[in-house]
Amino acid sequence: MAFDYVVVGGGSAGCVLANRLSEERDVTVCLLEAGPPDRHPLIHMPMGIIWMMRSKTLNWNFYTEGEPEMGGRRMFWPRGRTLGGSSSSNAMCYLRGHPADYDEWAALGNPGWSFADVLPYFKRSENQERGTSPYHGTGGPLNVADLRSPNRLTDVFIDAGLEAGLAFNKDFNGESPEGVGPFQVTQKGGRRCSTARGYLKPVRSRPNLTVITDAYATRVLFEGKRAVGVEYRHQGALRKVGAEQEVILSAGAIQSPRLLMLSGVGDRQQLEDTGVEVRHHLPGVGQNLQDHLDIILVQACTRPVSYGITWRTVLRGGVDLVRYAHSGRGMFTTNGAEGCAVARSSPGETRPDLQFHFSPGKLRDHARDLLFLCGEGYSLHVCNLRPKSRGDIRLTSADPAAPLAIRANYLTHPDDVEHMLRGFKLARRILGASAFAPYRGVEIVPGDKVQSDDEIRDFIRAKAETIYHPIGTCKMGDAARDPLAVVDARLRVHGLDGLRVVDASIMPLLVGGNTNAPTVMIAEKAADMIKADRGTTVQPRAIRAA
Ligand SMILES: Cc1cc2nc3c(=O)[nH]c(=O)nc-3n(C[C@H](O)[C@H](O)[C@H](O)COP(=O)(O)OP(=O)(O)OC[C@H]3O[C@@H](n4cnc5c(N)ncnc54)[C@H](O)[C@@H]3O)c2cc1C
């Protein structure tokens, strides 16, 4: 079996590539996805995200190593493991980041990645239900919508943000991402619009597109320095698939570097230490790991309005399930993070450095703590948008089934905890605003005892968690300027032929927002580059299936 393109990973990026590359009918594309098809109904029901967090089969359930600045805690890192990848298990918040984030990518030596360059790809991907504008597109596969049945507490949060001095922002992806307002979400008709639903499903019947699920890629196959195929495990057997043009890794920020390392591409010393034969020394693979660290304040609610598990919501659940099934409305359409604020922690910040997610329910441990979800309450997340701490991902063994060593190294840069501290204080101000007065019960987390700056810092170290945006482990950059660059501005792996990485791992720096929309944009842009380069950089070859 051989195809023109083999795409590894059917996630946010992989589904976009499968669609765009197979638009050309004379091109054959194979998409390998380690997880099963996305048939489970709770994938598509927005509130099903609570269940996705606990799934043993549709979630990779990674853990970091003990984090040195977080009391040695091993942090839970969920990632989607089905068609759509993490876009099938994420919170659907649609936020692209700050325009200057992309200008910064370009200034690092990545021509073609300024905001002006990438905006057309954001627009191309989008079906913005509010219509077109200079910042938004319609007719694209990714449906972007307003929440159909927002909780009334979300309006209260917005009023509280205004009281705290933030400006109202109806469109965080318009002129400026700063202010407070409702999130737009990647949903269609009240159901999740993953990239599997938006991009893949409509084109599954194309004869030139082959999708293989439950196919875990174990390494890239090479002839010399040229990628010629992929080895993968499927139905208990090791198989091979050939790539006559290119192999494209879209396995995400954790697993694209893993695959490169398993294939002998990475830091020479590290690979030798784990018993992997070195194919190409590329020291940046798995380095430059960045993530948004997040702390949650939780408040009891004195009125029966939240989405906490109570007799009221259980009884209402039956009615709302029918509403959901019939009209895609009601509480099951909540994405769990309905209100957004983007703000500066101090006037000296040149760009907003904080993002807040407001949830109309009590959250702890990624909503895995169902007991804590019981009772009326609401939560406010705050994260530092541009952390300076850097982590890494390493193999622990040459065995593709062995666990990875993930170190986020959260808060190892001293500035990071100070942004979080200021963010925490602003979060408390918002929750303390008079708009919340009719609803405000006691502060459950962290509670009254946490007051001084040191107490807040300790609380952050003890309780902060990921808000699920790991990036940067195959970073894009100019190899002449940056020894840790893994791919060039056309996303080709430095020093190798026929191999690209296209997913969140190529971001050189975190954007000041959520990472799904930027990943979709990256894949849209990559598809154009791959099409333009077709036949120019590689020679046809063939690997036949084993
Ligand atoms: C719980 C959660 C909530 C989030 N909330 C939001 C949000 O609200 N808004 C937002 O913008 N972003 C959010 N994100 C982040 C966003 O979803 C991700 O940044 C984005 O999906 C990353 O896309 P990707 O293509 O890089 O990786 P993924 O979408 O994770 O895709 C990688 C795919 O590769 C597959 N794969 C991995 N290894 C192999 C292998 N060896 N062989 C074959 N297949 C393989 C995986 O199963 C997966 O399907 C969230 C993420 C999570 C996990």
Ligand 1, atom 52: closest residue by C-alpha: 90
- Rounded distance between C-alpha atoms, residue 124 and residue 133, angstroms: 12
Q: What is the DSSP string of 312-375?
A: HHHHHHHHHHHHHHHHS-SGGG--S--EEEEE-SSTT-SS--EEEEEESS---GGGT-HHHHBS
For a mutational test of ligand 1's pocket, the pick from 183, 210, 214, 516, i.e. the residue with the most ligand atoms closer than 8 A to its C-beta, is 516
Quick one: pLDDT at residue 539?
44
214 C-alpha to ligand 1 centroid (Å):
16
- Three-state secondary structure call for residue 231: strand
Render pLDDT for 194-220 as a digit per residue (tens, 0 to 9): 999 999 999 999 999 999 999 999 999
Quick one: pLDDT at residue 540?
41
Quick one: pLDDT at residue 545?
41
Q: Which amino acid is at 383?
A: C
Sites in the chain below the pLDDT cut of 50: 537-546
- Give every CB contact of residue 106 below 8 A, 6+ residues apart in sequence: 112, 113, 114, 117
Quick one: pLDDT at residue 535?
73
Q: What is the DSSP string of 471-536?
A: B-TT-B--TTT-TT--B-TT-BBTT-BSEEE-SGGG-SS--SS-SHHHHHHHHHHHHHHHHHHTTT
Render pLDDT for 155-167 as a digit per residue (tens, 0 to 9): 999 999 999 999 9
- Rounded distance between C-alpha atoms, residue 50 and residue 101, angstroms: 31
Q: Are 282 and 482 in contact (CB under 8 A)?
A: no
CB atoms within 10 A of CB 208: 17
Find, among 530, 526, 477, 1, the residue nearest to 228 by Cα: 1
**How would you classify residue 275: left for phi > 0, otherwise alpha for psi between -120 and 50, otherwise beta?**
left
Write out the H or E segment, with its range, that includes residue 85. none
Ligand 1, atom 53: closest residue by C-alpha: 79
For a mutational test of ligand 1's pocket, the pick from 33, 83, 90, i.e. the residue with the most ligand atoms closer than 8 A to its C-beta, is 90
**Which residues form ligand 1's pocket by a CB distance below 6 Å?**
8-14, 32-35, 78-81, 85-87, 89-93, 216-217, 250-253, 255, 259, 468-469, 503-504, 514-517, 519
**Through-space distance between the first and last CA atoms of the chain, rounded to whole angstroms:** 8
538 C-alpha to ligand 1 centroid (Å):
29
Q: What is the DSSP string of 35-84?
A: S--S--HHHHSGGGHHHHTT-SSSB--EEEEEPTTTTTPEEEE--B-STT
- Rounded distance between C-alpha atoms, residue 278 and residue 266, angstroms: 8
Nearest ligand 1 atom to the CA of 10 is: 49
261 C-alpha to ligand 1 centroid (Å):
19
Render pLDDT for 488-535 as a digit per residue (tens, 0 to 9): 999 999 999 999 999 999 999 999 999 999 999 999 999 999 999 997
Nearest ligand 1 atom to the CA of 471 is: 19
38 C-alpha to ligand 1 centroid (Å):
14
Classify residue 438 by burial, with Cβ atoms within 10 Å: 0-12, 13-18, 19+: exposed
Ligand 1, atom 14: closest residue by C-alpha: 90
Quick one: pLDDT at residue 544?
41
| Structure token pair of residue 88 | 């099938």
For a mutational test of ligand 1's pocket, the pick from 59, 144, 231, 468, i.e. the residue with the most ligand atoms closer than 8 A to its C-beta, is 468
Q: What is the pTM of this model?
A: 0.97
Annotated catalytic sites, by residue?
469
CA 37, 41, 45, 47: dihedral to nearest 10 degrees? -100
Ligand 1, atom 50: closest residue by C-alpha: 90
Q: Are 169 and 350 in contact (CB under 8 A)?
A: no
Nearest ligand 1 atom to the CA of 82 is: 49
47 C-alpha to ligand 1 centroid (Å):
18
Q: What is the DSSP string of 165-188?
A: TPPB-S-TTSS---EEEEPEESEE
Quick one: pLDDT at residue 405?
98
80 C-alpha to ligand 1 centroid (Å):
5
116 C-alpha to ligand 1 centroid (Å):
26
Nearest ligand 1 atom to the CA of 35 is: 47
Nearest ligand 1 atom to the CA of 335 is: 8
**CA distance to 246, 379, 419, 496, 544, per residue, from 493 (Å):** 11, 42, 34, 6, 24
- Three-state secondary structure call for residue 290: strand
